[in-house]
Amino acid sequence: MEATDRASHGAHETTKAALTATDGAAEGTGAGDQFDFIVVSNRLPVDRCSADETGCEDGWRRSPGGLVTALAPMMTKTDGAWVGWHGAPDETVKPFSHGGIDLVPVQLSTEDIELFYEGFSNATLWPLYHDVIAPPEFHRAWWDSYRKVNRRFADATIRHAAEGATVWVQDYQLQLVPKMLREARPDLKIGFFNHIPFPPPEIFAQLPWRRAIIDGLLGADLVGFQRSSDAGNFMRSARRFLGASVKQQQVHVRGADGEPTHIARAQAFPISIDVKQISELAKKPEVIERAQQIRRDLGNPKTILLGVDRLDYTKGIRHRLKAYEELLQDGKVTVEDATLIQVASPSRERVEQYRLLREEVEGTVGHINGTFDTMESTAVRYLHHSYPIEEMVALYLAADVMLVTALRDGMNLVAKEYVTARTNNDGALVLSEFAGAADQLKQALLMNPHDIDGLKDTIMRAVNIQPAEASRRMRAMRKQILDHDVDLWSSDFLAALAEKVIRDDS
């Protein structure tokens, strides 16, 4: 028989009416609007801007990023809304529309940012979910804030969800929201997607609130992950910490009364990129000219190596610099023939671990350049900035070798962007086997970034790769990405969420 929701329609209407009665104080006007499709994420898909900036409309512009690109067209065609924080603490913004999307801001205070976002989300969950590369911190005050803020996001969603609406909750900051929605609105179809890795039970076991997190996620009908191994880790944790009955990636979830409420499924849906945008930019004459200018500015070295990362300890930037420094010491590469461009965009600069990482990376770059630079040539060109997509594509075109040395990464879209930009099927991708992209880009030069000697050997393979081999590898990787773009990712997830689930009690 099909899985059914058991709570009564009358209880749903009572809850909805009570929440709507207080909506005006929390969300401003537009409280009565109801939507058939709602995306819930930590941030809204817009950023503040000034009137003289390109793309600025009424003080807002659409944020860059794959998630916005994937979902914006769908939301403009359907009766859809996006729930999220608008980016400024201690400020109430009323619901508004931008670029054809209805936006429902959720207010966060300065304390919320400190405890919920910088604390529990990024100093507890982030390192824990990335294999404890850095030690996670466990503070009860952070957990209390995480629950409180998740409730705020859930309440905003409940107020604006039409009867039988589809709600798609995004990422690790909001893992309690699915169950909160299920309890208040069993009529909803609820999906959740985890953009970062999910750790094995042996690591997840460290979290004092492990049962509550698993319970929160099991409120969803479908929980999506980047890799099959992540989905497997989640199901093993559900079995171990909740005693859940797991069968064929399904959990038969029971309510407080012990009766079945729904079936929660876990599945891999590897995210991708806006292939059309990257491909078109890579063919623009001005972008091609900019790539050539970058090479000229660097003295036309024989080989340009490129790293593009958020400045985060999961990205393996220190391992990359260590390997490159040893290659210079060994004489395998010289500053006259090779340059490493390292773009490290600012990240969570108020968090102590990130401040320390920046100091270490910049100190290492200074040491390498001080040792190996000449008057004409630089070993490492370090750029602590964020750049527009046009400049990034120019960098992709300028680089002969792309270095993705993540110690743990849910996907890593930079790898996919580099491959997509190489429309001539040249260049080489050195890719960590611990990045989710390694599951799709099997023709990359895969390596273990913890093995510095192996990383050095792989970099030299990329530097010396023959054109025929480079073309064969790049052609195969480009086909995979062109056939699996971000639009297919979102449509696959939503199609799976809409599927009727047959209960197998055998």
Q: What is the mean pLDDT of each run of 10 residues along the chain (506 residues)?
A: 35 36 36 87 91 82 76 78 95 91 96 97 97 96 98 98 96 98 97 97 98 97 97 96 90 84 95 94 98 97 97 96 98 97 89 88 97 96 93 98 97 96 98 97 98 98 98 98 94 93 56
3-class secondary structure per residue, 401-441? EEEECCCCECCCHHHHHHHHHCCCCCCEEEEECCEHHHHCC
Rounded Cα distance, 325 and 321, in Å? 6
**Phi/psi class of residue 289: alpha, beta or left (left: φ > 0; alpha: ψ in -120 to 50)?**
alpha
Contact 377, 299 (CB under 8 A): yes
Cα–Cα dist 351/444, whole Å: 34
**With the C-alpha atoms ordered 167, 173, 178, 180, is the resulting torsion angle positive or negative?**
negative
* Residue 476, token pair as written in the block: 């195969």
Q: CA–CA separation, 189 vs 310, rounded Å?
A: 34
- Which residue has tokens 């909160």? 180
Instruction: Provide the CATH number for the domain formed by 9-106+155-193+211-272+489-498 in this structure.
Output: 3.40.50.2000
What does the domain layout of the chain look like in residue ranges?
Answer: 9-106+155-193+211-272+489-498, 275-484
In whole angstroms, give the CA distance from residue 216 to residue 143: 14
- The reply to whether domains 9-106+155-193+211-272+489-498 and 275-484 share a CATH topology is yes
Angle in degrees, 0-180, between the axes of helices 177-184 and 9-21, rounded to the nearest 10: 110
pTM for the model: 0.90
Give the pLDDT of residue 51: 82
Burial 315-332 (b: 16+ CB within 10 A, else e): bbbbbbbbbbbebbeeeb
* pLDDT score of 297: 96
Q: What is the pLDDT of residue 50?
A: 84
Q: What is the pLDDT of residue 99?
A: 83
**Which residue's entry shows tokens 């201690």?**
90
Measured CA to CA, the distance from residue 226 to residue 270 in angstroms comes to 4
Instruction: Give, for 223, the enclosing helix (H) or strand (E).
Output: strand 222-225
What six digits make up the tokens of 125? 């969950």
Residue 197: C-alpha distances to residues 127, 243, 379, 480 (Å): 10, 22, 33, 22
Q: Which helix (H) or strand (E) holds 148?
A: helix 140-160
Q: How far is 236 from 156, CA to CA, in rounded Å?
A: 32
DSSP state of 125: I
For CA atoms 361, 362, 367, 372, the dihedral sign is positive
Q: Which helix (H) or strand (E) element contains residue 214?
A: helix 210-217
Host H or E run for residue 304? strand 303-310
Least Cα distance to 396 among 284, 238, 236 occurs for 284
Give the Cα separation of 349 and 279 in Å (integer).
33
Backbone angles phi, psi at 32, to 5 degrees: -85, -5
Which pair of structure tokens corresponds to residue 449? 């970034």
Nearest-angstrom CA–CA distance, 53 and 381? 28
CA 265 to chain centre: 21
Q: φ and ψ at 17, to 5 degrees?
A: -65, -40
| 380-383, strands of its sheet edge to edge | 380-383, 338-345, 303-310, 401-404, 428-432, 445-447
Q: Burial code of 471-491, b = ≥16 C-beta within 10 A, e = fewer?
A: bebbeebbeebeebbbbebbe
Residue 253: C-alpha distances to residues 129, 250, 397 (Å): 24, 9, 49
Phi, psi values for residue 428, rounded to 5°: -140, 140
The residue type of 505 is D
Question: In 323-481, at which residue ranges do the beta strands (DSSP E only) sit?
Answer: 338-345, 380-383, 401-404, 428-432, 445-447
Output the pLDDT for position 105: 97
- 431 forms beta bridges with 404, 446
For 293, 403, 433, the CA distances from 302, given in Å and listed in that order, are: 15, 17, 27
Q: Would you tell me which CATH number, out of the four given (3.40.50.2000, 3.90.1150.10, 3.30.565.10, 3.40.50.300), belongs to the domain 275-484?
A: 3.40.50.2000
Provide the 8-state DSSP code for 64.
Answer: P
C-beta separation of 4 from 253 below 8 A = no
| Amino acid letter, residue 299 | G
